[in-house]
Structure 1
Amino acid sequence: METIFGLDALMLARIQFGFTVSFHFIFPALSIGLASYLAVLNGMYLWTRDESYLRLFKYWLKIFAISFAMGVVSGIVMAYQFGTNWSVFSDRAGPVIGPLMAYEVLTAFFLEAGFLGIMLFGRERVGNGLHMFATLMVAVGTVISATWILSVNSWMHTPAGFAMNEAGQYVPENWWEIIFNPSFPYRLAHSVTAAYLTTAFVVGGVGAWHLLRGRSGNAGVRTMFSMAMWMIVVTAPIQAVLGHEHGLNTYEHQPVKVLAMEGHFRSYEDGIPLILFGIPDQEAGEMRHALEIPRLGGPILKKGWNGSLDGLDTVPDELEPPVAPVFYAFRVMVGLGVLMIALGVWGLAARLRGTLYDATWLHRAMLAMGPSGFVAVIAGWLTTEIGRQPFVIYGELMTADAVSPLGTAAVAASLVAFIVIYFAIFGAGIVYILRLMGHAPELGERGVRAEPGPIRTAGVTPAPQLGEGSRGAQHPAE
């Protein structure tokens, strides 16, 4: 078989899909959370008439619009690969996958597209009520879109409700079982919460950046940082619980993936250790230089302190996933999750001491953790998808049997083109987003126009409009 730098057409096709999905994943992870955040900001403005909320709404609306657009474009390119690099998969799984993808367009994308224009440009044209409804519909649409996409992905991990026809295609028998397959509820809850947490760290990181630049007198900066820290301290522990439950569900339906995640090359008869770190040696079938806690892995997997476990030594070599990337990616995700919880607790302690806006080291840590949500979701995606190998539909269709009959040179050329174009176009978009984040929310934020009547900044008494150089009264979010 022809190879380029030791990579055949199958591996290059997998790398190409992994690259485009990882790039795409960045934008929905932000836009899903930002859509809901914008709905909250708009609602808080209508409730309190506090202009800082309107200022923040306009500030983040521009960032949302750009990330939403880049998410749509990168998603379309990703979908094309089903027909180019994975045509066999498309042919065999199309009767199941095709309708689900169409439902996503008909229910979610049309909903988002229908109300996005009103959300972006319609406040002065349709009134606050309809504008708020449009903002809510865009937020709901992003979650519905995630629901359908995750249903498709979950079915590939835990296929259910299907039969095989004479042509070897997977055809639907029970749509309820297909949509609500065994891993879908766990994957949906874990992924959507991850999007909200990712957005909280982006918003908090931007707030921390401006606080470090001496802009604590800007009411919008204080509000965004406070709201982000509330979201983190509440959501991060919930995400840890959801992740644990998702892991137990994975062990029930994809035990080999969990063995790779935990690095269990050998079986255990009396107590399962929790391997914290190590160097996987898949060829030798062992974890080198392992740092582990004896017996703790048993209770985590609900097997008790003296539980037994069949390791990867009971799995045929050809059915094992690549252990090293799964093992390390899982630890990146979990490690970042622990740091997120710790940062949330730190922020809560600073709030209770009344130093939330003066804790320089907290702001530095928040700024450093700003991109952590993106890293965590990509690490989680790598854990999930590489851990499913060598199957594209778990237990049913091997990845090697799903790829298009393309030449290695053709796949390599398209991969190089994707890398160059993605970094040029989407790189420019990301740079522009960072430039937008680089300035603080201002009274002159484009499109901001206060409603008639006094502006309240504390929810009680009127107050003058505040610029960056003044310090305002405390906001409801603080």
Structure 2
Amino acid sequence: MLESFDAAILARAQFAFTVSFHIIFPAFSIGLASYLAVLEGLWLWKKDQVYLDLFNFWKTIFAVAFGMGVVSGIVMSYQFGTNWSVFSDKAGPVIGPLMGYEVLTAFFLEAGFLGIMLFGLNRVGPKLHFLATCMVAIGTLISATWILAVNSWMQTPDGFGMNAAGQFIPLDWWKIVFNPSFPYRLVHMVLAAYLTTAFVVGAVGAWHLLDNTAPRRSRTMFSMAMWMATLVAPLQIFAGDAHGLNTLEYQPVKVMAMEGHFESHPDGAPLILFGIPNTAEKRIDYAVEIPKLSSLILKHDLNAPLAGLDSVPDALEPPVAVVFWSFRIMVGIGFAMLGMGLWSLWNRYRGTLHTNDWLHRAAVVMGPAGFVAVLAGWVTTEVGRQPYTVYGHLLTADSLSPVEAPAVAASLIAFIVTYFFVFGAGTFYILRLMKRLPRDPLPDLDKGPIRTSGIMPGPATEHIEGGQHRGH
């Protein structure tokens, strides 16, 4: 049975599986690191203990998520050698240094200050500790910058030449790093990370508001998260639109697949809201569409012509159905986030932000929405790039290592089993941490010989918690 699978498809599936697990942790840790910096900054400014309590609560969750992100990222790098050695050989002179810069400038910064952030408040003092927290947050942003520079170069390659061996040779590092799609992807991804974290924090705050646990902490969490949703969701929609226009300029075939335009439209293209892509017949079945709106969005002209997939050789088309639906999932969640932000703003105006149970239930349901949107966006970007690894220059079929399908299939099965066990346990542990918001302030965790997060009760705190619970 294994012989019936194509090695390239299996290798792509393996990388897609591992990167799907990986991407959700950086998306969460980027936003959470900045949130921790904001919490500690507010504590130093306002001298309000609730901000320090929330900082101590979320820093433990950040540590676990950060660790799982590091582990899942290391695994991905091995696949460049095992499954994609031809790609590594040809593109290595460009992407290798960029990955190295990420480790030198970002990972070392994060790792160097992480220990101080987690354990050093009463050892280095509040101001230096705040600096360490800011350095961790900046490190996560720098890491995202380098990784997105690599991915963006693969999408819109620039500043390179080719040698006799067929390798990409760097000619202008400024053009390589600041390639045409890089600014748009960086802004879009960072905003996505902030929204992802905001909706997780909002879901936790809403959960505890419904449970009437630690009302002041819950209200603070929920209020801060909803402010982020209200302010950032509209920005993300505008950033996404700008990114789409950039994609239309440099990767028009991807946009054709996203829009479901099998046919060219010389006098204005419709916006297809929903439908079933029929790749065999080259059409969208049961399409629900708005005439000429796609031309208005993409060209700012109702009658602007838009080319379709009928202008592209079949061998250069991406998998249309996957790109079509992943794009709609991403956009749909984006507008749902905007709706949540506006709903919370209306309740804030009415003074019911912390008492509207339906708003809180919706926030809990929307908790994982950011992760789904990030994954859908990644699928749109990466599957829409097919059949290339380096767009327009290196085909995916020509990037594969000389490996047999059974070998790739066996490692894929091993990854699936291991990942679901290890990262499933890690995710379950994070959810338990989120559930254990203390009802009342516990002693400062960095004081005394016994140090804990204040979330998981231990022998030294059971009598305190017990007394507090009896007080309720």
TM-score interval, normalised by the smaller of the two chains: over 0.9
- Once the two structures are superposed, what CA deviation does each residue of 1:100-128 show, in whole Å capped at 9, x if it has no partner? 00000000001111111100111010001
Which structure 1 residue ranges, 5 or more long, are not aligned? 451-466, 472-478
Counterpart check, 1:266 vs 2:263: yes
Counterpart check, 1:331 vs 2:324: no
- Farther-moved stretch of structure 1 (297-306 vs 346-355): 297-306
Q: What SS does the aligned partner of 1:301 have?
A: helix
Structure-2 separation of matches of 1:375 and 1:470:
41
What's the counterpart of residue 58 of structure 1? 56
What's the counterpart of residue 317 of structure 2? 320
Counterpart check, 1:158 vs 2:156: yes
Shift, 1:214, TM fit: 2.2
The answer (yes or no) to whether the contact 2:262–2:310 under 8 Å persists in 1 is yes
Amino acid at match of 1:23: F
What's the counterpart of residue 391 of structure 1? 388
The equivalent position to 1:105 in structure 2, one of 103, 108, 117, is 103
Shift, 1:4, TM fit: 2.7
Structure-1 separation of matches of 2:95 and 2:444:
43
Structure-2 separation of matches of 1:212 and 1:262:
40
What's the counterpart of residue 377 of structure 1? 374
What's the counterpart of residue 45 of structure 2? 47
Structure-1 separation of matches of 2:362 and 2:223:
15
Shift, 1:444, TM fit: 1.3
Amino acid at match of 1:139: A
Q: What SS does the aligned partner of 1:283 have?
A: coil
The answer (yes or no) to whether the contact 1:31–1:67 under 8 Å persists in 2 is yes
Amino acid at match of 1:328: W
Structure-1 separation of matches of 2:444 and 2:183:
41
What's the counterpart of residue 192 of structure 1? 190
Amino acid at match of 2:203: G
The answer (yes or no) to whether the contact 2:121–2:446 under 8 Å persists in 1 is no
The equivalent position to 2:113 in structure 1, one of 109, 112, 115, is 115
Shift, 1:446, TM fit: 6.3
The answer (yes or no) to whether the contact 1:52–1:220 under 8 Å persists in 2 is yes
TM-score (norm 1): 0.93
What's the counterpart of residue 458 of structure 1? none
The equivalent position to 1:364 in structure 2, one of 361, 366, 369, is 361
The CA RMSD over aligned residues, in Å, is: 1.6
Structure-2 separation of matches of 1:290 and 1:241:
26
Amino acid at match of 2:396: T
What's the counterpart of residue 14 of structure 1? 12
Counterpart check, 1:434 vs 2:431: yes
What's the counterpart of residue 416 of structure 2? 419
Which structure 2 residue ranges, 5 or more long, are not aligned? 449-467
What's the counterpart of residue 408 of structure 1? 405
User: Structure 1: which 4+ aligned runs deviate by more than 2 Å?
Assistant: 3-7, 467-471
The answer (yes or no) to whether the contact 2:122–2:446 under 8 Å persists in 1 is no
Q: What SS does the aligned partner of 1:406 have?
A: coil
1:469/1:359 Cα in 2 relative to 1: closer, same or farther (>3 Å)?
farther
1:468/1:149 Cα in 2 relative to 1: closer, same or farther (>3 Å)?
farther
What's the counterpart of residue 251 of structure 1? 248
Shift, 1:310, TM fit: 1.3
The answer (yes or no) to whether the contact 1:55–1:448 under 8 Å persists in 2 is no
Structure-2 separation of matches of 1:13 and 1:333:
25
The answer (yes or no) to whether the contact 2:309–2:317 under 8 Å persists in 1 is yes
Point out the structure with the larger helix share.
2
Shift, 1:303, TM fit: 4.7
Structure-2 separation of matches of 1:30 and 1:445:
28
- Farther-moved stretch of structure 1 (232-241 vs 263-272): 263-272
Structure-2 separation of matches of 1:373 and 1:448:
33
Counterpart check, 1:219 vs 2:216: yes
Structure-2 separation of matches of 1:204 and 1:100:
35
1:55/1:5 Cα in 2 relative to 1: closer, same or farther (>3 Å)?
farther
Q: What SS does the aligned partner of 2:285 have?
A: strand
Matched-pair identity in %: 65
Q: What SS does the aligned partner of 1:444 have?
A: coil
Structure-2 separation of matches of 1:180 and 1:72:
26
Shift, 1:270, TM fit: 1.4
